[in-house]
Structure formats: C-alpha cells, structure tokens
C-alpha cells in the first residue's frame, strides 16, 4: 500500500501541502512504514487536494482532502483495511478520466515528478536509448512523419517537417528550444505537464536534438511558473547524474545539454521569432520570415522550436511506434490533444482526448456539463487568438480542420466554456483588452488597430454604441489581420469578429436597444421592484449602498433610478424575487 497527494500548482493552492503533512503525521503516529509521496496534477483540478491510496488490487481516490480527513483516511485503511467511503471521489466525477486517452499526460498524477527513478519505472528514457542505439537521425524524422504528429502550440504545423528542415540546414551549431511561454487566459496545459512529468519533455527534446544534430537545448518558461521551473531544474540535474545529459550520452557520439530561461511573461513571446529575440536578450518582438528559425534561429543558428505538449508526445511515439500514434485521431489530425477545461463547466481541469471527439462530448461527458445546469452559450477556443463556437456547433469534431471551419482555432488547447449569463460583447471586449495590452507595438495595424477596436467595444458595453460600430469593427479587424507581421496581430481581432458572426443580435441589442441580454453590462441595466411581489421587508433598502430604495415597512418599495448605482445588492438581498433586472 502507498499514499500519494497531487502536488501540482492547483493542488498546492487548494491546501495539498497541509494534506501531505497530515498524512505523514498520521502514518508516523501509527509507526507505519507505508510510503506517502507526491505526484503531479492528475487533471481533476475541481477535486483538489486529491489523495490516492494504492493497494495490491485497488486504487482509491479521495477528493478535497483536508487535514482531518487525511487522518480518518489513514485510520480507515490501516485499522479496518477498508476505504473511507464517505470521502471517495463520486463515481460520476471519475467519468472525467474514463473517456480520456492519455499520451502526453500518461505520467501526470502517477509519478513523482522530482524523482528520475519514478519516471524510469514507467519506461522513461527507453525511447532515447532506442533512438541512439538503433536509429539514424533520418530514421527518427521518418518515424515522426509516420506518426502524423502536428505541433500542439497552435498552428498545427507538421512536426517532422520542422525537424527535417533544421536537420538539412548547414551549421556548426544548432539548437532545440522548448516554447513553454503559455500565455492564453485559462490555459494551463504546458504548466501542468512540466510540473507533472518534466523528464518526458526533456526526453522529447533529446530525440529532436539527435534528429537535427543539435548539442544544446533551451527551455523558455514563463517566470510565473516557479514550480515548473523548480522541477525542471531538478530533472536536469538528475538526468546529468544518470548520464542522459552531457557528453557522449549512453556511450555514443551524441552530446546534449539543457538550460532554462525564465521569460518575463509577454504573450507575444509565444511567437517563435519573438521568443528567440527574448532568448538573445532583446525585446520580445517578431522578425520577418523567411528566414525561418530552422535556417536562422537562436543566435542566427539553425533551431527547432516546439511547445511542451509536442515534445511530451515524442517518447511515447518512439516506444510504441509512429503507427500506433497515427491510429488515433482523424485522417489529417493524428493522435490526442490536451485541453484545459475552464469557465462555466462543472468539472474543470485537464483532459486529453483523441482528435475527432466532439466538443459536446468533452464538455458534457468529461466536463460534466454546465454549472448550475444552465444553458450552454458557446465555447472560446484558441484563447485570445481564437474564436467563439456557438452552442449550435458543439457537435463539431475537435481537429484542426473542423475547428477552423467552425470559426475558431485549435490553439494550444484552451477551452473556455460560457453559459447563458455570459455577455458575448463583454467577452470580446475582455480578450481585446488583453491583446491590445500584449501587443509588442511593432506593427501600426496591431498597435493602433487593437486600441481603436477596444475603444469601440468599451463604448458599446457602456451603452454608448452607435450605428455603424459593427461594420467599423469588422473593417478594423480585417485591416489588422492583413497588416500585422506575426500571429498575435493576425489573430487579435478574432474574438470580436467571431462573436459578431455568431452573436450579432447581442451587438444589435447593445447598440440599438441599449440592453444587455445577458444582464452583465451594468450601464445598460435597469433595476425596479415588482409591487405585487414586494413584502416591504426592507432587506433591499438595508443593503443598498446608495440609499436609492425607499418605502414604508410592509408596503411595496421603489428604486430611485437617479441614485441607483446598479450594483445588484438589492437583487441578492431580496428573498421574494421582487427585484426586476432588465
């Protein structure tokens, strides 16, 4: 028997360290030699802190375990040999894992990410051993081509093609770079993979380095990911000690080492040429292509750049075979994809599914549906660079071609679920505010165009929209797309353009009727009291910070619109549903 605690960032934020300490204390008090250790996030972030008890025959998962629960769980297993059933994760929540197919996340929540031995027990470093002992660099590229793996960072470019281009580029020095600058709001796939299985990403980079002839590799990680950086540093030291990094790895002519660069958190540095500029100590701004990084990248040397998830798939492909990976997914989108489920979904967390599964299955079968059983309104995919897919299109299969046809992009895997209470105009304004602030400023179209679009969206949600605003947003959006140099600018207008295309009636309501159908834009709301329902209890008046509610006790009250600040306190305080919001 052994105990494990999910110690990803989500678990730690929920109190997992106290849970781990409580388990160790309870086992110590019973003079037990049963081991208790840490693992990464298993993906069920909505149930953290999670404790798993592993016996010879069963795995028991416990959710939201605090210190007191930890003691009871230990007592139950050690004294009675039975689980503490009242604390077990409900069967319906376990459905979160049942429909998943885990390749990139195969070790997350299973191994101790800070112990190389734990990784090796699961087949770790077998792939690089096989590659170095039995395959040529060209054969490695060929196997990746057979797998059909496409870059998981957003563009979906064939991985083998990038590797092949870098391999064929002449140069006395080459680099392998891991793009871990995950900047999309609501996205946490790369962070969780680095925290839960750093050696797998490193092993993927080693195989890429062998394929292209590189001797040096760099992790570009957001400084906001301190736990990921800490575990990467440990993993690199352990790999050096074990002989998987350094000179003449496994007794071959292949030498390779890794270092970490902590980025300042600029969204634009997710674009590969801006990332390279930042690595070189320059301001993170994109460069013209061609030449591509495969020809002239880091320090003008041939470089291969993939993101965390892409590299994380590589060891599995070389252990199981490229054909096994290609057998999953669809004709043009092979393998699996990791998604970060966030927003108005019951079971938020990390999910890895075969390409081709529908959005409906991900949200309802894995995510458990919409919070409070409200109606689904749409799904924002691809982060600020993506687009909104409306409810009527949720049977769209998740692959590169179908998601693009639906008006969004796959992106790195963020999936933000929105319900009937979400204002689509305000949502577009939120993402436009983000991209406008994150613009590097190099291109006039992006620097000024996003600001003008944001100003228009601000006016609309403040009740000052004008006829022609929608058409002006569309015109500005097209101009930004056509005139911007990098992917950030070329996709910055997408949230506004996709919501206009799919939810134009909401824009019309804001502009022409001065109403917000979702009741989210405060300047467009009006509060009133229904005299038929009001009992005169005075609860709303007591809560009103502006003293805008008047009336005699036990008689219907009224709201003075001239003083109402539209804070919603009266609606929250009323127990009789007498406050009307329009």
- pLDDT at residue 516, as a whole number: 96
How far apart (Å, rounded) are the C-alpha atoms in residues 235 and 37? 17
Tell me yes or no: is domain 336-419 CATH 3.10.20.600. Answer: yes
- Name the region of 50 (left: φ>0; alpha: ψ -120 to 50; beta: rest): beta
- pLDDT at residue 32, as a whole number: 83
How far apart (Å, rounded) are the C-alpha atoms in residues 85 and 78? 14
How far apart (Å, rounded) are the C-alpha atoms in residues 189 and 349? 9
Query: pLDDT by residue (tens digit) across 289-348?
Result: 999 999 999 999 999 999 999 999 999 999 999 999 999 999 999 999 999 999 999 999
The pair of structure tokens assigned to 68 is 């007191």
- Tell me the pLDDT of the chain averaged across its residues: 95
- Name the region of 373 (left: φ>0; alpha: ψ -120 to 50; beta: rest): left
Hey, how many other C-beta atoms are within 10 angstroms of the C-beta on 560?
12
> Which CATH number is 424-513 given?
1.20.1440.230
Hey, how many other C-beta atoms are within 10 angstroms of the C-beta on 91?
8
Three-state secondary-structure class, residue 98: helix
Domain at 2-89, CATH from 3.40.30.10, 3.40.50.620, 3.40.960.10, 3.40.640.10: 3.40.30.10
Q: What class is the 526-581 domain?
A: alpha beta
pLDDT in tens for each of the 582 residues of the chain? 999 999 999 999 999 999 999 999 999 998 889 999 999 999 999 999 999 999 989 999 999 999 999 999 999 999 888 999 999 999 999 999 999 999 999 999 999 999 999 999 999 999 999 999 999 999 999 999 999 999 998 778 999 999 999 999 999 999 999 999 988 888 899 999 999 999 999 999 999 999 999 999 999 999 999 999 999 999 999 999 999 999 999 999 999 999 999 998 889 998 999 999 999 999 999 999 999 999 999 999 999 999 999 999 999 999 999 999 999 999 999 999 999 999 999 999 999 999 999 999 999 999 999 999 999 999 999 888 889 999 999 999 999 999 999 989 888 888 999 999 999 999 999 999 999 999 999 999 999 999 999 999 999 999 999 999 999 999 999 999 999 999 889 999 999 999 999 999 999 999 999 999 999 999 999 999 999 999 999 999 999 999 999 999 999 999 999 999 999 999 999 999 999 998
- pLDDT at residue 183, as a whole number: 83
Domain at 116-326, CATH from 3.40.50.720, 3.40.190.150, 3.20.20.140, 3.40.50.11540: 3.40.50.11540
The pair of structure tokens assigned to 1 is 């028997």
- pLDDT at residue 383, as a whole number: 85
Q: What are the helix and strand counts (H, E) for the chain? A: 24, 17
- pLDDT at residue 446, as a whole number: 95
How far apart (Å, rounded) are the C-alpha atoms in residues 276 and 273? 5
How far apart (Å, rounded) are the C-alpha atoms in residues 348 and 359? 14
How far apart (Å, rounded) are the C-alpha atoms in residues 267 and 254? 35
Q: Closest Cα to residue 379, out of 150, 186, 520, 518? A: 186
Domain residue spans of the chain: 2-89, 116-326, 336-419, 424-513, 526-581
User: What pTM does this model have?
Assistant: 0.93
- pLDDT at residue 89, as a whole number: 97
Report the length, in residues, of the chain.
582
Pairing of strands 349-354, 336-343: antiparallel
């Amino acid at each position: 028997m052994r105990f494990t605690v999910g110690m990803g960032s989500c678990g730690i934020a929920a109190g997992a360290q106290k849970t781990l300490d409580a388990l160790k204390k309870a086992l110590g008090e019973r003079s037990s030699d049963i081991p208790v250790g840490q693992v990464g996030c298993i993906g069920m972030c909505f149930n953290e802190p999670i404790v798993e008890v592993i016996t010879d025959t069963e795995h028991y998962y416990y959710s939201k375990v605090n210190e007191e629960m930890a003691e009871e769980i230990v007592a139950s297993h050690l004294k009675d040999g039975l689980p503490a059933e009242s604390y077990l994760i409900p069967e319906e929540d376990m459905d979160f894992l049942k429909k998943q197919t885990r390749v990139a996340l195969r070790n997350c929540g299973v191994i101790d990410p800070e112990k190389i031995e734990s990784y090796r027990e699961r087949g770790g470093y077998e792939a690089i051993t096989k590659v170095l002992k039995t395959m040529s660099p060209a054969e490695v590229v060929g196997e990746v081509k057979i797998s059909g793996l496409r870059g998981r960072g957003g563009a979906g470019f064939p991985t083998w093609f990038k590797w092949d281009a870098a391999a064929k580029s002449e140069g006395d020095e080459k680099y392998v770079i891991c793009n871990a600058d995950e900047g999309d709001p609501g996205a946490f796939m790369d962070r969780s993979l680095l925290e839960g299985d750093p050696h797998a990403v490193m092993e993927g980079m080693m195989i890429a380095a062998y394929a292209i002839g590189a001797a040096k590799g760099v992790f570009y990680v957001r400084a906001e990911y301190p736990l990921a950086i800490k575990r990467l540093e440990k993993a690199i030291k352990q790999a050096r000690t074990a002989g998987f990094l350094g000179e003449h790895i496994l007794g071959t002519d292949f030498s390779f080492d890794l270092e970490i660069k902590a980025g300042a958190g600029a969204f634009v540095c997710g674009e590969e040429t801006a990332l390279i500029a930042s690595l070189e100590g320059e301001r993170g701004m994109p460069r013209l292509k061609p030449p591509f990084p495969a020809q002239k990248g880091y320090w003008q040397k041939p470089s291969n750049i993939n993101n965390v998830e892409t590299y994380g798939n590589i060891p599995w492909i070389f252990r199981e075979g490229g054909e096994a990976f290609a057998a999953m997914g669809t004709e043009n989108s092979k393998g699996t994809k990791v998604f970060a489920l966030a927003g108005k979904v019951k079971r938020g967390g990390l999910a890895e599914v075969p390409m081709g599964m529908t959005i409906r299955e991900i949200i309802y079968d894995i995510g458990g549906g919409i919070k409070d059983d409200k109606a689904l309104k749409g799904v924002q995919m691809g982060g600020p660079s993506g687009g909104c897919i409306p409810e009527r299109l949720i049977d769209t299969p998740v692959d590169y071609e179908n998601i693009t046809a639906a008006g969004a992009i796959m992106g790195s895997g963020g999936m933000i679920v929105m319900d009937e209470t979400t204002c689509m105009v305000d949502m577009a304004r939120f993402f436009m505010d983000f991209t406008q602030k994150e613009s590097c400023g190099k291109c006039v179209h992006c620097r000024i165009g996003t600001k003008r679009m944001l100003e228009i969206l601000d006016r609309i949600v403040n009740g000052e929209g004008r006829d022609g605003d929608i058409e002006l947003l569309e015109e500005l959006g097209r101009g930004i797309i056509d005139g911007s140099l990098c992917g950030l600018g070329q996709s910055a207008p997408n949230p506004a353009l996709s919501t206009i295309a799919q939810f134009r009636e909401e824009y019309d309501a804001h502009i022409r009727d001065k109403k917000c159908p979702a009741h989210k834009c405060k300047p467009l709301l009006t509060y009133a009291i229904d005299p038929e329902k009001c009992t005169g209890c005075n609860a709303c008046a007591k809560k009103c910070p502006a003293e805008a509610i008047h009336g005699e006790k036990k008689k219907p009250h009224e709201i003075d619109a001239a003083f109402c600040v539209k804070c919603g306190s009266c609606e929250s305080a009323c127990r009789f549903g007498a406050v009307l919001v329009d």
